[in-house]
């Protein structure tokens, strides 16, 4: 029953509003205009010659003397949202244009930097070799730190066993552990760098092939056949 009552009230409000609009239009039949204003939900809540101060920022509809809508205005909130969307579209368009220009520049540099795919592979291998050299150095550092750590721990254990603890040896253990951990992190970082190099050059190579319209690798010279093995001496 409550639901039916609410439906009745809504219908009554709509009828009253329609009658109000019709009356306002008739009152202005000799000229002038009728403006209807809406609340934040977009629902028309009143009509008249002027919009009340409290609804100045609301959406409105201007009616002819026949009650036909001839002009509408958006609310201040809708206008701000629309302007924000327009600004975002302009910004997105500018960003896309900038990205396209940068991609074009990179493509031109790529095509002019290599004669074929093999050169890309050679450049990748050189970069990997540099990182491998660095990893080798860190492995040496790791081995030295590990050896020092083992030695320090051994001496510390002997000192504790003889009930002659040494702060100096304890500090050596701490330093060696820190150096060992640092070397391990450095090696892990360099291994990750190698993976990134492989991925980057793979993407570079794929892009190069697309720009060239297909494979451009120069045919490799076949390796000479291995010499026959000498007969075993009896």
Q: What pLDDT, in 10s, does the model give residues 175-195?
A: 999 999 999 999 999 999 999
Q: How many domains does the chain have?
A: 2
Encode pLDDT of 79-90 as tens digits. Answer: 888 899 999 999
pLDDT at residue 219, rounded to an integer: 39
The answer to whether position 207 is within a domain reads: yes
User: What's the domain range around 68?
Assistant: 2-78
Q: Which residue has the tokens 């977009």?
A: 42
The answer to whether position 22 is within a domain reads: yes
Between the CA of residue 207 and those of 118, 185, 203, what are the distances in Å? 14, 33, 6
The answer to whether position 39 is within a domain reads: yes
Same domain, 23 and 70: yes
Closest CA to 220 of 122, 118, 115: 118
Distance CA 21, CA 32 (A): 14
Encode pLDDT of 191-208 as tens digits. Answer: 999 999 999 999 999 999
DSSP H or E segment with residue 87:
helix 76-113
Same domain, 55 and 121: no
Query: What pTM value is reported for the model?
Result: 0.56
Residues 6+ apart with CB under 8 A from 29: 65
The answer to whether position 43 is within a domain reads: yes
């Amino acid at each position: 029953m409550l639901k039916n009552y609410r439906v009745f009230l809504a219908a009554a409000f709509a009828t009253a509003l329609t009658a109000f609009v019709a009356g306002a239009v008739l009152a202005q039949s000799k000229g002038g205009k009728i403006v209807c204003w809406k609340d934040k939900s977009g629902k028309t809540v009143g009509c008249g010659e002027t919009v009340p101060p409290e609804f100045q920022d609301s959406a409105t509809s201007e009616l002819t003397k026949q009650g036909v809508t001839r002009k509408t205005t958006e609310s201040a909130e809708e206008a701000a949202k629309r302007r924000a969307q327009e600004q975002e579209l302009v910004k997105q368009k500018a960003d896309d244009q900038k990205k396209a220009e940068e991609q074009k520049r990179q493509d031109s540099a790529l095509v002019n930097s290599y004669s074929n795919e093999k050169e890309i592979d050679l450049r990748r291998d050189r970069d990997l070799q540099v990182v491998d050299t660095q990893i080798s150095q860190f492995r040496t550092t790791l081995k030295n730190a590990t050896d020092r750590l083992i030695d320090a721990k051994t001496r510390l254990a002997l000192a504790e066993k003889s009930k002659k603890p040494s702060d100096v040896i304890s500090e050596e253990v701490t330093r060696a552990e820190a150096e060992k951990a640092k070397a391990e992190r450095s090696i892990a970082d360099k291994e990750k760098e190698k993976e990134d190099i492989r991925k980057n050059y793979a993407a570079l190579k794929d892009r190069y092939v697309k720009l060239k319209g297909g494979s451009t690798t120069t045919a490799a010279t076949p390796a000479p056949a291995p010499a026959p093995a000498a007969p075993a001496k009896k």
